[in-house]
A = this chain, B = another copy of it.
Amino acid sequence: MDKKLSAALIIIGNEILSGRTQDSNMQFLGRELGKIGIFLEEVRVIADNEDKIIETVHQLRNNYDYIFTTGGIGPTHDDITSLSIAKAFGVELELHEPSAKKMKEHYGGNLNEARLKMAHIPSGSSPIETRITSAPGFKIENVFVLAGVPMIARAMFDALSPELSVGPPIISRYIEALLGEGELANQLEKIQNKFSDVDIGSYPFFRKGEIGLSVVAKGINSEAINNIINEVEKIIKSKNCKYCIDDEVI
């Protein structure tokens, strides 16, 4: 089997840490990467702080195949991601002419220095351009720098994803039952030990006053996943409780 492809995400933004903004890029990227066989293995949320951005990029970039960042590439003083990433790689920011041209067309006489800041990307990086904004993201070595606004982050991910290596897609099936987790824990552990290349998760839920659990089997070995779901189904059936089985809807 080939080496598993891995990714880490760095979410940059004081507004996420303070709770002002609910992040949704993590869930989006976790799912989209999974579909193309790349495991999102770590996420860090950090402040708009140059030293912290540089330190975090250095800590992560050699440990994962791909690093994504979101946030901090806008026009204002608190948007310091591009400059920080440039410094992390020891290069300068330079004007990306095609983006500047697009901005001139879009803003006309309202194109000012602050807006033009968004057309600057690190020397040696490749722009990530989309139709929905004239300001690009960029790729430098294995680091992809995306906007924080979810709509733009998604468009940038769509634009860059053809460049990513693709692994076997991560498949996920689940079985849900109106059972407490503790009822199944023992048997589930035995099944996990038998199928070590599939990740079996057990998650409780509370719905309409009833307690239930979702058992999720996730990995790239679809035969093992089906066997796991079948074994769990047998156990649940023997307990005579309501249950359902489905593929994970991504």
Give residues in A with beta carbon < 8 Å to B: 11, 14-24, 26-32, 34, 39-48, 52, 74-78, 107, 110, 112-115, 117, 149, 151, 170, 172, 180-186, 188-189, 192, 199-204, 206, 216, 218, 248, 250
In the complex, the chain B residue whose C-beta lies closest to that of A7 is B17
Selected from B19, B29, B43, B181, the residue in CB contact (under 8 A) with A30 is B19
In the complex, the chain B residue whose C-beta lies closest to that of A170 is B18
- By secondary structure, the A interface counts as mixed
Write the nearest CB–CB distance from A42 to chain B, whole angstroms: 6
Flag if A43 contacts B44 (CB, 8 Å): yes
Q: Which of A16, A18, A201 has the most CB of B within 10 A?
A: A18
In the complex, the chain B residue whose C-beta lies closest to that of A193 is B77
Complex Cα gap A10–B22 (Å)? 17
Enumerate chain B residues within 8 angstroms of A19, measured Cβ to Cβ: 26-32, 34, 40, 250
Enumerate chain B residues within 8 angstroms of A203, measured Cβ to Cβ: 15, 21
Flag if B18 contacts A218 (CB, 8 Å): yes
Given the interface pairs A30-B19, A181-B75, the reply to whether A44 lies near B47 with Cβ below 8 Å is no
